[in-house]
Amino acid sequence: MLTIETLQSYGANTAEGLARCLNNEAFYLRLVGMALADDGFEKLLSAVKADDRQAAFEAAHGLKGVLGNLALTPLYERASQITELLRAGQEADYVPMAEELIRKRDELTAAAG
């Protein structure tokens, strides 16, 4: 079960995330659950594997916004890094970065039970 304590242990800034949800814990947790199930993670991985930088940027940018608004810091930082590298047109090995983002999401999902 996803809890505030689980999110705090994971490194999320729950005070910030809750504040954005008017301190409605049930609403915040529901949004976090929806974010963890977002198909943007898989779209990002698929796009970087296909070397479709535009689609990868769109997926990463969308995830960055959602994860940042919910203050899911460990995920937000990774999505932000990928987004900014893609925005700048940097050559990078994006597949391991996307896989790490998904691993971190899966860690939180597993911790939530």
* pLDDT tens digit sequence for 61-81: 999 999 999 999 999 999 999
pTM value is 0.94
Q: What are 54's two structure tokens?
A: 């535009």
Kindly report, residue by residue over 5-55, the tens digit of the pLDDT.
999 999 999 999 999 999 999 999 999 999 999 999 999 999 999 999 999
- The hierarchical CATH code for the domain 4-112 is 1.20.120
Please give the C-alpha separations between residue 27 and each of 30, 32, 108, in angstroms, as whole numbers.
5, 9, 18
Query: What is the domain partition of the chain in residue ranges?
Result: 4-112
